[in-house]
């Protein structure tokens, strides 16, 4: 190459460099960057080979001028794997103290009066109705903080198919808002507006024995048929099930336990989930056909009591389970004890509702207990005198 050609090359290069840049320095930088590009290219080949071997596909991108070249990596989707159900979380199990020690439990502040025997009979009292109670005089009273007010309407006894009579006041007779009460009767259901004292009778043929509130409707249970009664129209629609398996609450839930074998399930609409009470209750079952002991729903949970495993007639267990999965999240063991301090009895220790999102109300003979399912703590809610024959609580 001639000297003239060399001078032309350097002159062309100088015209491409920024003003004030050293020719020699810039040449050195360009050469260094060129060596770095070659080293990067060699390394990239090695890395690419390693990535391909690992199942990673590398797609080179077009480099921008004076920019850094960055490879983009895409992971090859893994082969489908067999799904494994995770082990269920360990449930919490609580145990109530002996029945004779219940008096020593702390009191739980609630809207319910603590000692029902001391509540005076009044003609009027302010505040909401927190419970209905039937006393030994045969009258049903509206229970308020300031006294108990006699209900002017006197519904007849409920009657079953065998002619057995019972109180018309059922555990779920009081509406959740405390403004209405429903009483099942033979061939009809009586609904009383507790605000104005008026009653309306809804004809419904058959031996109506249980009522469960479903918003502005009532699920009415008979041994051989169930009906959903619309209180606005008076129309009753027969349901595709029968018997006494309904759960108190706004959702149309049922707890179904087979007489022999099989699984206890939670049903809602056309779907069901297995209620995981094997080893939790006696023979993995729940009470069926026990009118005073049904499940109680609160948000995504349901609570009900049953006989403890291997100890029917000796201990009850209160079960709280998730509605969506049937998983038992907490249990409370209630040993019956011995006379005269025996708790529970022929009807067991039934759940009577919820006081809040985390407190289940349980009947223990002549006392109501509050069981906090978050902490496991047990507390006294109210003392029920012998003259209280039946009651219905407003949810807290």
Could you tell me if residue 80 is inside a domain? no
Q: How many domains does the chain have?
A: 1
Q: pLDDT class for 341, splitting at 50, 70, 90?
A: confident
> Measuring CA to CA, which residue among 133, 137, 100, 101 is closest to residue 119?
133
The answer to whether the pTM exceeds 0.75 is yes
Which pLDDT belongs to residue 370? 98
Which pLDDT belongs to residue 155? 95
Q: What is the dihedral of CA 150, 156, 160, 164, to 10 degrees?
A: 90
Average pLDDT over residues 284-298: 90
Could you tell me if residue 134 is inside a domain? yes
**153-171: burial string, b at 16+ Cβ within 10 Å, e else:** bebeebbeeeeeebbbbbb
Which pLDDT belongs to residue 338? 87
Could you tell me if residue 345 is inside a domain? yes
Percent of the chain with pLDDT over 90: 68
Whole-number Cα distances in Å, 121 to 116, 143, 171: 11, 9, 22
Which pLDDT belongs to residue 260? 65
Evaluate if residue 26 carries a pLDDT over 70. Answer: no
Average pLDDT over residues 198-226: 97
Give residue-wise pLDDT tens across range 357-369: 999 999 999 999 9
Tell me what the pLDDT averaged over the chain comes to.
82
Could you tell me if residue 10 is inside a domain? no
- Tokens 């809040």 found at: 356
What CATH number does residue 367 fall under? 2.120.10.30
Backbone angles phi, psi at 253, to 5 degrees: -100, 150
Domain membership of residue 176 as a residue range: 94-393
Give residue-wise pLDDT tens across range 167-211: 999 999 999 999 999 999 999 999 999 999 999 999 999 999 999
Lowest mean pLDDT among 79-83, 101-105, 327-331: 79-83
Could you tell me if residue 337 is inside a domain? yes
Average pLDDT over residues 257-273: 88
Could you tell me if residue 66 is inside a domain? no
Average pLDDT over residues 370-384: 97
Could you tell me if residue 118 is inside a domain? yes
Which pLDDT belongs to residue 76? 36
Which pLDDT belongs to residue 20? 39
Evaluate if residue 240 carries a pLDDT over 80. Answer: yes
- Collapsed DSSP state (helix, strand, coil) of residue 227: strand
Torsional sign, CA 126, 128, 134, 140: positive
Collect all residues with Cβ–Cβ distance below 8 Å to 133 and sequence separation of at least 6. 116, 140, 141, 143, 148, 169, 388, 390, 391, 392
Give residue-wise pLDDT tens across range 31-64: 333 333 333 333 333 333 333 333 333 333 333 3
Q: Encoding tokens for residue 39? A: 């080293």
Lowest mean pLDDT among 40-49, 124-133, 234-243: 40-49
């Amino acid at each position: 190459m001639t000297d003239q050609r060399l001078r032309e090359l350097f002159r062309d290069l100088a015209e491409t460099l920024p003003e004030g840049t050293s020719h020699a320095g810039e040449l050195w930088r360009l050469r260094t960057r060129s060596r770095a590009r070659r080293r990067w290219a060699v390394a990239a080949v090695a890395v690419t080979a390693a990535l391909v071997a690992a199942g990673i596909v590398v797609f080179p991108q077009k480099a921008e001028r004076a920019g850094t070249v960055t490879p983009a990596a895409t992971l090859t989707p893994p082969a489908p794997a067999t799904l494994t159900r995770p082990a269920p979380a360990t449930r919490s199990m609580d145990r109530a103290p002996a029945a004779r020690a219940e008096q020593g439990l702390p009191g739980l502040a609630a809207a319910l009066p603590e000692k029902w025997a001391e509540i005076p009979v009044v003609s009027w009292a302010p505040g909401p109705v927190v419970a209905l109670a039937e006393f030994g005089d045969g009258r049903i009273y509206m229970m308020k903080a300031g006294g108990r007010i006699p209900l002017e309407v006197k519904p007849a006894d409920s009657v079953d198919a065998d002619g057995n009579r019972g109180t018309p006041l059922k555990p779920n007779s009081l509406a959740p808002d405390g403004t209405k009460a429903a009483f099942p009767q033979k061939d009809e259901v009586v609904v009383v507006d507790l605000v104005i004292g008026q009653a309306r009778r809804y004809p419904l043929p058959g031996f109506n024995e249980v009522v469960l509130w479903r918003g502005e409707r009532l699920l009415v249970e008979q041994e051989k048929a169930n009906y959903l009664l619309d209180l606005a129209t008076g129309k009753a629609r027969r349901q595709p099930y029968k018997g006494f398996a309904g759960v108190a609450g706004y959702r149309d839930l049922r707890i179904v336990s087979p007489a022999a074998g099989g699984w206890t399930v939670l049903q809602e609409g056309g779907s069901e989930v297995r209620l995981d009470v094997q080893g939790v209750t006696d023979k993995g079952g729940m009470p069926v056909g026990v009118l005073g002991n049904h499940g109680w729903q609160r948000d995504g949970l349901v609570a009900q009591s049953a006989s403890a495993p291997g100890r029917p007639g000796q201990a009850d267990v209160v079960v709280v389970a998730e509605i969506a999965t049937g998983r038992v999240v907490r249990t409370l063991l209630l040993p019956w004890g011995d006379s005269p301090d025996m708790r529970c009895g022929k009807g067991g220790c039934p759940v009577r509702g919820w006081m809040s999102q985390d407190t289940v109300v349980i009947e223990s003979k002549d006392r109501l207990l509050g069981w906090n399912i978050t902490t496991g703590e047990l507390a006294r809610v109210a003392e029920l005198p012998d003259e209280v024959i039946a009651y219905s609580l407003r949810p807290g």
